[in-house]
Structure 1
């Protein structure tokens, strides 16, 4: 039986709390229990100019701009120095218009150079077989002497 009385007491307390909350929201505080209501927060206007004079007290004064030109010039000067130090002028040079073509056919050119050198070697061997070795050396030496004199 003691539990039933306890439940009734809790139900009464809950009803009173709900009634107090209802009165608080409706604004008529008849019992005087909640006579000390919290003050409403006042708005602060930074860039808005209120129409009513009552809200004029909440306007913040206009902030005066600070001259920061010296700070900006210092930071720009530091940035220019740093950029000039960090620049790699070799990477800034424009590439030739056919650089990508050369990159793509480099492997094929290596194969062709090997084949060309083999073919030149075979041609020289055939000529040497057809001529006497001494004559070929003499012709090669005379050709080398002529090209040396021309330079």
Structure 2
């Protein structure tokens, strides 16, 4: 990059300022023509805009002005925050308050690893349990039928022995 002499840089800055001024005037003229203001009011408005632009960014932090208008622009002295208050706030933020005051122990107890398998198989086990009960009842009936004949024979044998012994 070539370094230009200071005077050339100043000349470019002046050209930019002139272009910006011309642009502002065109914008103001466009607004004013739409509103129908006379030329003298437009000029006064342009001056007000320029002075507002100059003073809009003016904030006096370290300088105490003597002028009353500038004293209004003075920023009040900043008071440093207490370190103790900041530390207390951080400590309070670090200690979260308990969300649940009463704890249900049943919900905290861990589930057994096969709880989902038992849940899925429960319906099938109910059907099998019914079938098993029916099968057991049927087996008992068959034994009772078989034991009735044996029981009748046993009773008859006992009766014969008693008759023989009498």
* TM-score normalised over the length of structure 2: 0.45
| Greater per-residue helix proportion | 2
Larger radius of gyration: 2
* TM-score normalised over the length of structure 1: 0.48
